[in-house]
Structures are given as structure tokens and as C-alpha cells.
Structure 1
Amino acid sequence: MLEIRQGGTAGQVKPIQPRALIVTIYGLYAREVGGALSVSALIRLMATAGVDEPAVRSSISRLKRRGVLVAQKVRGAAGYALSDRGRAILLEGDRRIFERHRAGTGDGWLVAVFSVPEAEREKRHQLRSRLSWLGFGTVAAGVWIAPVHLEQEARDALAGGGLADYVDLFRAGYVAFRPEPERVARWWDLDGLERMYDEFVAEYRPTSARWRRKRRDDDEAAFADYVQVLTHWRRLPYLDPGLPIELLPGNWRGSQAADLFFALHERLGPPAHRHVETLTRPGGTA
């Protein structure tokens, strides 16, 4: 099974989990059909991706317990739909995953300063996790920083998570005393991020080459590759919040990885979509 970095900090490698593939499938396809998929269709789709039925059912149960999926009949058959929380999570991810945002050096910074009473210290962990997920870097204890274009996303995420009362947000410019590239390298783990980008390119460059050689589409194979690619990719745009290219190391690997992802997205997306339509339409095979 493909190993990818799923969550946590740069440097932690974990195998891709079936539930992560399920979230990818729901994000890509279920919202087009009202947010729900039958269990039988999902089992067939996951089998294409190399996951057996017991693992699918176990993963569905976990996603249900986490409030991401809710039971719902699909044309009279057992199925699951996205919960309101699940829809919100996927909607939040669309902008990061499928759009390229790169700050300019003159745009300025968004600074988050938080203070949490000791009696509510669990909120401290929630804040750190949320800011990290949004792509903020760490300046000091209780002081985090991000490109200013993340302002509205940060506002929405912190307010939606019930954390706004603990945070103040500022727009700022860096004026002294060390060069900004030096500071950026301390605020974010750029070396770790570049290693992750290198792994993505090493894993999927052969996939891209293989599909460039194909003269005709294989919809099922395209689906299997596409959900793997997207599941691997989708965390990276959060760890890399679109920092100005001038402040990043030379020959930034993220640019190469992004070019590869969007090329695969364009090549594999349409045939993968056809495969899902074949399995999920009324009278289909699942």
C-alpha cells in the first residue's frame, strides 16, 4: 500500500488509510449526486482502488462516528451521505486543493495571537491544530503567521470552530531585523515540506509518463490512479500556504509537484469521472 504523509508534522510517514480514500471519493463525486453513495457502489469503487470490503465497512463506521457521514438510503439501498460537517470540510478544501494561490512579497502577513486560560487549555491544542491545518507558521508561543490571503479562510475556520474568542488577527508587514527568507525558514518547516514534494514527484512522475503513452482511456485504471494521487496531494496545499516564491529556497520543489498534480488532474479526472458514473447511475453495475 502506498505510503504518504497524512497529517501531523513534516517527517511523519504513515500509510494511506482507506477512510482517506473514502473522503476523497465523497469529495470528488458524492456531492454531484446529492452527497450520498450506496454502500455497494462505494465497495466497488474502493475495490478498484485496491481496498477490500471489510476495510471499507470499518472505515465507513469510523467516518460515521466522527460525524463526517450519516446513514441514508440511496434508491432504496443502504448508503451514506455527507453530514453538514462533512460538506463544510470538503468545501473548505476545494479552494486549497484545486486552485493555486501564491502571495506576493508586498502583500503583507496575517498574524494570529492567542491566549487561552489554563482552565480551558484543551482550546490551546485545538487552536494550534487549526492554525497548523490552515497553513500558519509558528513565530513564537501563541504567535502564528500566514500570508494575508488566508484571512477570510482563517476567520471562517476559527469562528466555525468556536475559537474566535481566543484569537486576535492582525495584518502586518515585516520590517526588521533579519532577511525575510531567513525568518520564513524558521516559521515553516520548508526542508520537511520539500521532502514531501520530492516524494510526491518520485511517486507519480512514472504514473504521468505511463498515461502520456496511453492511446485510449482505461476509465477504471484512471479512477484507481486519480483517487490515490488526490489523496496524497490534498494535505500538501495546507502545509504550503502559498508563500511568496521570492522567500522560498531556490528551485522550489512545490512548483514542480503542483505542475505534476494539475497535469494528472486534467488527464485522469474525466475518465475517472466516467468510471464513477458507470457504477453509480441507475441500472449500473453497483
Structure 2
Amino acid sequence: MAEQHTPRSLIVTFYGAYGRSTRSPVRVAALVRLLGAAGVDPPSVRSSVSRLKRRGFLVPTRTTEGAAGYALSDEAEQLLADGDRRIYESDPPCAADGWVLAVFSVPEQERHKRHLLRSRLARLGFGTAAPGVWIAPARLYEETRHTLERLQLDSYVDLFRAEHLGFAATADAVGRWWDLAALAREHEEFLALHEPVLLSYQRGAGPPDPEDAYRDYLLALDSWRRLPYADPGLPSELLPANWPGDRSTKIFKELHDRLYLVGAGFVAEHSPGL
């Protein structure tokens, strides 16, 4: 997990955390300064911004003062809004909420879309119940629908709400649908990286330094925001005892509560208007 802090990923994380407080664009100079605080050099910021512009995530525009800047595209706004529901989810999932099933059929002449569908459903956190049948907690329905429509894949897929009626116990079936050992390792990697950071703040005297808070929060969020997609919020009653996801969720929440607003002050100082 330590290697995932790429410049492009950090820019997306920055916009998700701080770049949406208003619809104002972020000045290029501010992006360079703010990403520099997280260890990204200026050429990497500029090249990553260019790639995100080509992908339609960022839109070049001018600030009210006439400086060059970048704002989120409408598609990026929707993508980040969908992500918020996962990243900052506070209501614990419940097995009684049921499941959403995605069943797809792709003509052989368009088999490249079959691969795209599989990879996108996996990135949304779906498990595989059977060949061509993918399953996820029911609360992911809206995001799944938005994603498939955005990628123009919705015509190949039928979505269903479902409950598991047997024959195996649902907890046993979940262990087949998802690789729980791999998910547990991802949570443990997050804890190894960011639990010591939280402990240092808990032991510290006085309020955190704004730049330190901004940097540590941005890095923690950049690590965390992938986890609710790999682990789509499976109900605790269906997971093994001492599931590390419970602790990693608690650690991220406390880091957010301690650092986010302090970090926002650092962002406001270096990018007025956000």
C-alpha cells in the first residue's frame, strides 16, 4: 500500500477532500504548493494534471483573478460524490439489507466489453457468485448504476435486488464470493502505515501543525479511499472474528476527525477561495 501514493492519485484525493468546497478552480501554482507538501515535485504535478485533463477528470479554466486553474468536470463531480458514500459511510451495514446482483451478457463480437465489465464490477467491490453473476451489498446499487451508465455498459447488464436463501450459510458463501484473506491484508497494511500516525497525534501536546495535519490526512485518505472498494462494506455478522476492517475504519475516522479541518486551514492559506 505504501507505493500507491502516485502524483495522479494524490491529485484526485486532494480534489475529493478539499477541491470541492466551492465550484472555484484551483490555481496551478496552488496545486504545485499543496501537492509539494505531500512530497510531489512540480513537474510530476503538471504532468499528472495534464493526464487528468485528457481523461476528462479536470477542466482547464480561469480563477476570478484571471489565473490559470483547474476545476472538476461534471463526470468527476459525480464520481467523487459516489465515492463519498463509501469513504465516509457511518451507518454499519446489515445482512438484512440484502444484495444487488449484476448479470450480464455480451455478444462475442464485443468481447472486449466483457473484460471491461468484469474489471469495473471488481473495482466497485463486487464478488463473484457464479460465472456471469456478480454480487455486492444492496446499498451499492446507485453507484453501480451511475458507473455502468457513465461507461455506456448498462445495455449489457441487468441489476436485481436479492436475498440469499441457501443452501450454504451466508457467511460461508461470502467467503467464496470474496477473497477475505486478501481483504484482511489490505486493512492490516493500512493500519501498519497510519495507526502510528494517529498514535503520535494522540500523544502530542497542543493542536497539530496545519501543514502536518494536511499532509498526514491527505496520505491517509489516499490509502483509505481504495479500501471501501476492495472491501465493499460487508456486514460484520458475515465476517470472521476480529476482522481488521473494524479497526482500520475506526482509525481512519479518528484521523479524519482530528486532521481534516486543521488541514483545510492550510489549504485555504495557499489557495484562497476553497
Length-normalised TM-score, structure 1:
0.90
Q: 1-side partners of 2:90 and 2:108: how far apart?
A: 39
- The verdict on how the C-alpha distance between 1:136 and 1:101 changes in structure 2, with shifts beyond 3 A counting, is farther
The CA deviation string for residues 143-199 of structure 1, in whole angstroms up to 9 with x for no partner, is 101112222222232223222211112222222222221211111111111001001
Amino acid of the residue matched to residue 65 of structure 1? Answer: R
Asked if 1:211 corresponds to 2:201, the answer is yes
Q: By how many angstroms is 1:85 displaced?
A: 1.8
- Give 1:16 deviation, angstroms: 1.8
Mean CA deviation greater in 254-263 or 143-152: 143-152
Number of corresponding residues:
272
- The answer to whether the aligner puts 1:27 opposite 2:16 as a matched pair is yes
Aligned twin of 2:222? 231
- CA displacement, residues 32-66 of structure 1 (integer Å, 9 cap, x when unaligned): 23141011001000111111111111111111111
Question: What SS is found at the alignment partner of 2:166?
Answer: coil
**Contact 1:111/1:143 (CA < 8 Å) preserved in 2?**
yes
Residue number in structure 2 paired with 1:195: 185
Which letter does structure 1 place at the counterpart of 2:222? Answer: T
Contact map agreement 2:4 2:223 (CA 8 A) in 1: no
Partner Cα separation in structure 2 for residue 63 and residue 230 of structure 1: 19
Gaps of 5+ in 1: 5-13
Match of 1:152 in 2: 142
State how far apart, in whole Å, the 1-side matches of 2:135 and 2:91 are. Answer: 16
The letter of the residue matching 2:220 is V
Does residue 172 in structure 1 map to residue 172 in structure 2? no
1:71 CA displacement:
1.2
Distance 1:222 1:135 in 2: 30
SS of residue in 1 equivalent to 2:185: helix
The question of whether the paired residues in 2 share the 8 Å contact of 1:102 and 1:243 is answered with no
1:16 aligns with 2:5: yes
> Is contact 2:210–2:262 with CA below 8 Å preserved after alignment?
yes
Kept in 2: contact 1:24–1:230 (CA 8 A): yes
3-state DSSP class of the match of 1:106? helix
- Taking only the aligned residue pairs, the percentage that are identical comes to 51
Indicate conservation of the 8 Å contact 1:26/1:35, yes or no: no
**Amino acid aligned to 1:105:** A
Residue 253 of structure 1 deviates from its aligned partner by 0.6
- What letter is aligned with 2:146? D
The separation in 1 between residues aligned to 2:4 and 2:74, in whole angstroms, is: 28
RMSD of the TM alignment (CA)? 1.7
Bigger relative contact order (CA 8 A; separation at least 6): 2
1:51-70 paired onto structure 2 within 5 Å: 51-70=40-59
CA distance in 1, matches of 2:126, 2:46: 35
Match of 2:73 in 1: 83
Question: Take 2:24 and 2:234, find their aligned partners in 1: how far apart are those partners?
Answer: 33
**1:252 aligned to 243, 254, 268, which one?**
243
Q: Which runs of 5+ in 2 are unaligned?
A: none
Which secondary structure state, in structure 2, belongs to the residue aligned with residue 251 of structure 1? coil
> Partners in 2 of 1:35 and 1:24 — Cα distance?
17
Change (3 A) 1:199 1:56: same
| Distance change (3 Å), C-alpha of 1:238 and 1:15 | closer
Cα distance in structure 2, aligned partners of 1:157 and 1:42: 28
Provide the rounded CA distance (Å) in 1 between the counterparts of 2:163 and 2:183: 24
In the alignment, structure 1 residue 280 sits paired with structure 2 residue 257: no
Give a deviation string over 1:211-254, Cα, whole Å, max 9, x none: 11221220011111110000000010111122121111111110
Quick check: 1:43 aligned with 2:52? no
Secondary structure at the counterpart of residue 66 of structure 2: coil
What is the alpha-carbon distance in structure 2 between the residues aligned to residue 67 and residue 130 of structure 1? Answer: 18
Counterpart CA distance in 2 for 1:53 and 1:152 is: 37
Matched to 1:231, the amino acid is D
User: Residue 111 of structure 2 corresponds to which residue in structure 1?
Assistant: 121
